[in-house]
Structure 1
Amino acid sequence: MTGGPGAALPVVIQGGMGVGVSGWRLARAVARTGQLGVVSGTALDVTLARRLQLGDPGGHLRRALACFPEPAIAGRVLGRYFVPGGIAPGTPYRPVPRLGLRPSRARDELAVVANFAEVFLAKQGHDGPIGVNYLEKIQLATPAAVFGAMLAGADYVLMGAGIPTEIPHLLDEFAAHRPAEIAVTVAGAGDDRHTVGLDPGALLPRPAEPWRRPKLLAIVSSHVLAAYLARSPRTRPDGFVVETPVAGGHSAPPRGRPLLDAAGEPVYGPRDEADLGKMSALGLPFWLAGGYGGPGGLARALAAGATGVQVGSAFALCRESGFDDALRRRLLRAASAGTLEVRNDPRASPTGFPFKVARMPGTLSEPEVHERRPRLCDLGYLRTPYVRPGGAIGYRCPAEPVEAYVRKGGTVGEAEGRQCLCNGLTAAIGLPQHRADGYREAALLTLGQDIAFLQGLPEDHSAADVVHRILRGAPGPTPGRAPTTGIPRDSSEERQQ
């Protein structure tokens, strides 16, 4: 199964989780089963730069960069970040250029190369489909990241945490090797339009034939938003992933007046449930996510008219996951024992969206660990551009020092309880920043709130185990479903590579 014209649609989509949790090894393992493997496209510039500074164990990134279509660009990235043998333990990583509205050739080159490398590695050794997942809220990163993924032949782009109205056109323009841009939300800008874009011709010679355009799947929580996107060819995606509030990572806030339960979590009601009949009436394929990874989940989704399911947490805890392995095993043990608590925290994310935080000693989920962390914003993916007095553009984040945030026009209330997702999620995959003063960034872990997915899985399961278990719960052959024969059951090859 591939993502080309006329290809069968996948029944199982592996969620694009966190920063690097859905890495190329996991996506490749899923795609080898014939289902859709997805890499997380969030902060790939940082993860590439840090892994190069660690010496690129195994040489995988250098192998990918050797295939980048413009060697001079790949060479500049290697020259800036690769450290033979790796930096000494405890050495701070070299920073990468932060996102901004002002053009930066070095920033664009790093983002393009990083997204190319992750998708390239995920696509090796099989003919299954590979997608890449982005957050719409990280608008400043989108054009360069998407272009890099397209260069590597990404079959799907999945986008949530916002309304991706401009992404279909962006994909169309890049496929035709034309410059493209998207609007950027700038606080206080009024009717002034700010944009960020990329000109493919400034990076690469024009290809003999257009690049293949990946399919776009919009991640939504309501049929109303899906109908809004489907109304026009310019905004219409190729399908939808419909997430319930229990899905991991960010979730949409409840509609209407916000209410919290006794545990301080958002209260969702009937208005927050997508009408699946109306989803079917749109005539576009859709997949259901959030609580569909357990036994019977696929059967329920198919009965509701869905094409299949998206599953995240079961893959996040499998052997090929990008989680730091010690953290992954601790999460798996807690989930298996029924002691794992995943809180839908309405305050943690600087975006203002509720965010699932898994409780684990020694991580930022513990108040004392969070309080020990010096507040700073040095990665800046979730910063908000704003208009400063005098008209210049500044950037602020509710997780930065409170005084600085208030000075930039924010409020103390907006900053209260905010976590640095950028550093916490990067630490969760074993790439924590070490500060010059000796502080080491602590991890922040996210999973979905429904752990029924563990039923029927081996103790230390693989991605193929997850796919097998999900497909066994289907009610029989379904049109468009990939065959389940020939799926590799043992992932020792994946662990070795």
Structure 2
Amino acid sequence: MTLDTADDTFPTIIQGGMGVGVSGWRLARAVSAAGQLGVVSGVALDLVLARRLQQGDPDGDLRRALDAFPFPEVARRVRERYYVPGGIAPGKPYRPVPKLGLRPHRGRTELTVTANFAEVFLAREGHDGLVGVNYLEKIQLATPAAVYGAMLAGVDYVLMGAGIPSEIPGLLDALAVHRPAEISVTVAGAESGQRHTVGIDPATLHGPLPPPPLRRPRLLAIVSSDILATYLARKPETRPDGFVVEGPVAGGHSAPPRGRLQLDEEGEPLYGPRDRVDTAKVAALGLPFWLAGGHADRQALTRALEVGATGVQVGTAFALCRESGLEEKLRRRLLDAAVTGTLPVRNDPDASPAGFPFKVASLPGTVADPDVYTARPRLCDLGHLRVPYLKTDGEVGYRCPAEPVDTYVRKGRPESDTVGRRCLCNGLVSAIGLGQHRSDGYVEPPLLTLGQDLGFLTDLPNDHTAADVITHLLGGLPGPG
């Protein structure tokens, strides 16, 4: 089922949906206004909205977005709960937001829906270009409410990786006509056939009279193998509208190598011939696809087009541009180190609680620094990467290998799972200037991620813009379509 989807033209460049708020609405708007696909990161937007409202929303952008939300009473409750005129005092802890969970929670749903609406709404202001939103399939507990909020704002594309988004086409179909919708949730220890779900009933937000149908966005599945692409494309109910085929040098999470995990002399995963994507097989599926990971130059784009790709997805070049959501001092430090060749970016097999290899950019004073990591008190107070598991009493609990070791072990898992794990939730939020100030005076340090291919920087102006990246990539090549 497709309701009023976008036209048949496709962007040549997709801007990656990076981190928590790195691909914010300002960056996505700049890329979209330049005629390509700007993408906001949909990860932890509930937290981002709540903390920015507590900072006082000095430019009024978020309050303007909330004023445009189609269900005013919902927006009013969110604003009354989190907005602090003038902002909270320096060093004061942020008010917490409800953790993700299987049980329905009105406040959490309303915050998630409005946060995703606001980010997409602001990204779409002032131009008629395309806007997408990027989600992690692994964060299943947030997906239905997050997607509905983005669709209410008119999002054109939903991109999803870090898992198998086989149920998302049906979710988009249902939410386009404001029907109740749910997806399956993976619960560790659950028996085969024992299904757990999380969903949203739009009627709890809009009341008894549903609004007009929404435009159903296109779904792009982010995959790292032609096998997964073929699996998803095999039947209508799982088939996306296209693929982003991502290689292992891309920033953030990467798929682990196929087969037994082997590490090189630097302790990074070794990828081999089995991990190379057969682009001919992807092209044969008849759906548009984009190549990602190490494609931030014109030659790489040309090669992608030659093998049948529609274009490329580029992340790191945009993450380092002026419109990036990174905290400005951190962005400049990253850029300076990258330009001078003194910025190691390690594909760490242990850093992420999600269990996927994760690119960590090493800057002193960040969580990549062993001393900073060791000094940080272990805690899991945000919980977006918590794993639901079945307890001995049959109830569902939640655990994270980055939480306190004793707590994690009490939940039935070995201590070895916790070695080297970083709290991505707090670290990535701190990287955009929203780190928690704790009551004992401790301030959460940032964690930074970039792709491992930084060679493109020699061809870009110093302190480049999003438009500079697009010009660098396209040159004399044709635009969308």
Which residue is equivalent to 1:108?
109
CA contact (8 A) 2:6 2:156 kept: no
Which residue is equivalent to 2:80?
79
Q: Does 1:356 align with 2:359?
A: yes
CA contact (8 A) 1:129 1:155 kept: yes
> Gaps spanning 5+ residues in structure 1: where?
484-497
Deviation, 1:209, is 3.0
AA partner of residue 450 (structure 1) = D
AA partner of residue 289 (structure 1) = A
CA contact (8 A) 2:298 2:474 kept: no
Per-residue CA deviations over 1:233-265 (Å, capped at 9, x if unaligned) read 000000000000000000000000110000000
Which residue is equivalent to 1:314?
317
Deviation, 1:482, is 2.6
> Gaps spanning 5+ residues in structure 2: where?
none
CA contact (8 A) 1:295 1:453 kept: no
Deviation, 1:177, is 1.4
More off after superposition, 288-297 vs 336-345? 288-297
Which residue is equivalent to 1:184?
185
Which residue is equivalent to 1:303?
306
Which residue is equivalent to 1:249?
252
CA distance in 2, matches of 1:180, 1:208: 16
AA partner of residue 156 (structure 1) = Y
CA contact (8 A) 2:25 2:122 kept: yes
Q: Does 1:393 align with 2:362?
A: no
Q: Does 1:382 align with 2:385?
A: yes
AA partner of residue 97 (structure 1) = P
CA contact (8 A) 1:295 1:455 kept: no
Mapping 1:187-336, distance limit 5 Å: 187-191=188-192, 192-205=194-207, 206-207=209-210, 209-336=212-339
Which residue is equivalent to 1:414?
417
Residue 447 of structure 1 is aligned with which of 445, 450, 472?
A: 450
- 3-state secondary structure, aligned to 1:29: helix
Deviation, 1:432, is 0.5
- 3-state secondary structure, aligned to 1:57: coil
- 3-state secondary structure, aligned to 2:92: coil
CA distance in 1, matches of 2:248, 2:7: 33
Which residue is equivalent to 2:64?
63
Per-residue CA deviations over 1:56-85 (Å, capped at 9, x if unaligned) read 010000000000011110000000000000
Q: Does 1:482 align with 2:480?
A: yes
Which residue is equivalent to 1:493?
none
CA contact (8 A) 2:365 2:372 kept: yes
Which residue is equivalent to 2:145?
144
CA contact (8 A) 2:5 2:218 kept: no
CA contact (8 A) 1:74 1:113 kept: yes
CA distance in 2, matches of 1:13, 1:208: 31
CA contact (8 A) 1:289 1:311 kept: yes
AA partner of residue 196 (structure 1) = V
Which residue is equivalent to 1:14?
15
Deviation, 1:208, is 5.1
Q: TM-score, normalised by structure 2?
A: 0.98
CA contact (8 A) 2:120 2:133 kept: yes
More off after superposition, 206-215 vs 114-123? 206-215
CA distance in 2, matches of 1:136, 1:5: 23
CA distance in 2, matches of 1:285, 1:419: 36
Question: How many equivalent residue pairs?
Answer: 476
- 3-state secondary structure, aligned to 2:134: strand
CA distance in 2, matches of 1:182, 1:92: 34
Deviation, 1:439, is 0.5
More off after superposition, 452-461 vs 300-309? 452-461
CA contact (8 A) 2:17 2:41 kept: yes
Per-residue CA deviations over 1:150-202 (Å, capped at 9, x if unaligned) read 00000000000000000000000001211100000001111210000001112
Deviation, 1:6, is 2.1
- 3-state secondary structure, aligned to 1:118: helix
CA distance in 1, matches of 2:285, 2:115: 35
CA distance in 1, matches of 2:116, 2:251: 23
Which residue is equivalent to 1:487?
none
Deviation, 1:210, is 1.3
CA contact (8 A) 2:402 2:421 kept: yes
- 3-state secondary structure, aligned to 1:469: helix
Which residue is equivalent to 1:122?
123
Which residue is equivalent to 2:471?
468
AA partner of residue 259 (structure 1) = Q
CA distance in 2, matches of 1:353, 1:208: 40
Q: TM-score, normalised by structure 1?
A: 0.95
CA distance in 2, matches of 1:5, 1:358: 37
Kindly report the root-mean-square deviation, in angstroms, between the aligned alpha carbons of the 2 structures. 1.0
Q: Does 1:168 align with 2:169?
A: yes
CA distance in 2, matches of 1:116, 1:374: 34
Deviation, 1:468, is 0.8
AA partner of residue 77 (structure 1) = V
Deviation, 1:296, is 1.1
Residue 371 of structure 1 is aligned with which of 369, 374, 379?
A: 374
CA distance in 2, matches of 1:438, 1:201: 43
Per-residue CA deviations over 1:249-296 (Å, capped at 9, x if unaligned) read 000000001100000000000100100000110000000000000241
CA distance in 1, matches of 2:307, 2:352: 32
Identity percentage over the alignment?
69
- 3-state secondary structure, aligned to 1:203: helix
Per-residue CA deviations over 1:367-401 (Å, capped at 9, x if unaligned) read 00000000000000000001111101100000000
AA partner of residue 201 (structure 1) = A
- 3-state secondary structure, aligned to 1:219: strand
AA partner of residue 301 (structure 2) = L
CA contact (8 A) 1:294 1:454 kept: no
CA distance in 2, matches of 1:312, 1:453: 12
Which residue is equivalent to 2:132?
131
Deviation, 1:411, is 0.9
- 3-state secondary structure, aligned to 1:454: helix
CA distance in 1, matches of 2:341, 2:211: 56
CA contact (8 A) 2:6 2:218 kept: no
CA distance in 2, matches of 1:186, 1:482: 41
CA contact (8 A) 1:56 1:62 kept: yes
AA partner of residue 232 (structure 1) = K
